[in-house]
Structure 1
């Protein structure tokens, strides 16, 4: 039986407590979703493969569902 749990999302900082995972995505990892492939590669090269977003997540052990918050990097 899976019982409900309390999870806090900080509305200012965006963090999840308890946090069970965190990952980041850089621009190069988003290859294939932009129409102009040449412009995409140029942006990766010119901007030293910038960080695009970071995710803080909560996933209960044994559950298939998870949720979290995403922090988008300023442009």
Structure 2
């Protein structure tokens, strides 16, 4: 669970850091004033967030399958009249 919590924090930090940078590429109305700079800035943001997403997928997906498997086995046993 610590790995998942740390991954969530990392994703949030990458997004929050981008909010500050993206504002510098926009005019007062919030429209992009520098399309190239804005597009180029998204690449490092996505890369930073993706590192944490990979951690989340590695730990979260494995844990989800494991717990779902136990529940499914329990349901099958109950249907078959077993414990």
Give me the TM-score of the superposition, normalised by structure 2: 0.22
- The answer to which structure, 1 or 2, has the higher relative contact order (CA under 8 A, 6+ apart) is 2
- Structure with larger Rg: 2
More strand by share: 1
More helix by share: 2
Give me the TM-score of the superposition, normalised by structure 1: 0.23
